[in-house]
Amino acid sequence: MTISTTNSDTDILWTDDFLIGISELDYEHRRVLEDINKLHQDLLAHADLDRVKTVLGRIHARLQAHFALEESVMLDRGYVNYSDHKDDHDQLLGEYTERMINYEKDPTLDNRKTMERTLRIWMVDHILTNDKKMSQMIEGGI
Ligand SMILES: [Fe+2]
Ligand SMILES: [Fe+2]
C-alpha cells in the first residue's frame, strides 16, 4: 500500500488499511487524520494565522485525548509493550508541540513544512505499525 504523506499537495487518503479493529480508536484515528488534512488545506490556502492556530490547537488537544484513551485501552488489556508505545506517543506530542510553537512564532514555509512533515509522516506510520501491532497482540491475547 502506498499512502503519500510527503507530497505537499496531497491529502492523506483514508482507506481500510488504517483500520486496527478497535472501533473507538479507529474512529479517533479517522478524526485526527481529517484534522491534519484540514490543517493542510488551510495552510495551502494561506488561511490567516489565527485560524491556523485554532486548528493547530485542536489537533494538539485531539492527540492528547486520543493518546490518553489508547493508553487506557492498553493498560486495561495488559498490553506488554505499553511503555514503549507510550514513549512513542510522548515523543510525538513533544515534537509536535515544539514545531507548532516554532511555526506560530515564525510562520515561514520551512517551519510549516517541518511541522507538517512531522505530523503527517509520524501519524500515518504510527497507526500503520505501532497501533496495528498493538491491536493484533491485544486481540490475539498476547
Ligand atoms: Fe498509538
Ligand atoms: Fe492511535
Q: pLDDT in tens for each of the 142 residues of the chain?
A: 445 454 556 889 999 999 999 999 999 999 999 999 999 999 989 889 999 999 999 999 999 999 999 999 999 999 999 999 999 999 999 999 999 999 999 999 999 999 999 899 999 999 999 999 999 999 876 5
| In the block, residue with C-alpha cell 488499511 | 17
What separation in Å is there between the alpha carbon of 100 and the centre of ligand 2? 20
Check: CB of residue 9 under 8 Å from CB of residue 44.
yes
Q: Is 2 domain-assigned?
A: no
In a domain, 1, yes or no: no
Centroid of ligand 1 to alpha carbon of 103 (angstroms): 25
Is 6 part of a structural domain of the chain? no
CATH classification at residue 72: 1.20.120.50
Domain containing 56 equals 17-139
Is residue 128, in this structure, part of any structural domain at all? yes
Number of domains in the chain: 1
Question: Is residue 108 one of the residues assigned to a domain?
Answer: yes
Does any domain span residue 10?
no
Residue 27 phi, psi dihedral angles, 5° rounding: -60, -45
What dihedral do alpha carbons 22, 118, 17, 76 form, nearest 10°?
Answer: -10
The answer to whether residue 63 sits within a structural domain is: yes
The C-alpha cell 490556502 sits at: 45
- Whole-number Å distance, alpha carbon 108 to ligand 2 midpoint, is 29
Q: Which amino acid is at 40?
A: H
Distance between Cα 29 and ligand 2 center (Å)? 6
CA of 123 from ligand 2 middle (Å) equals: 8
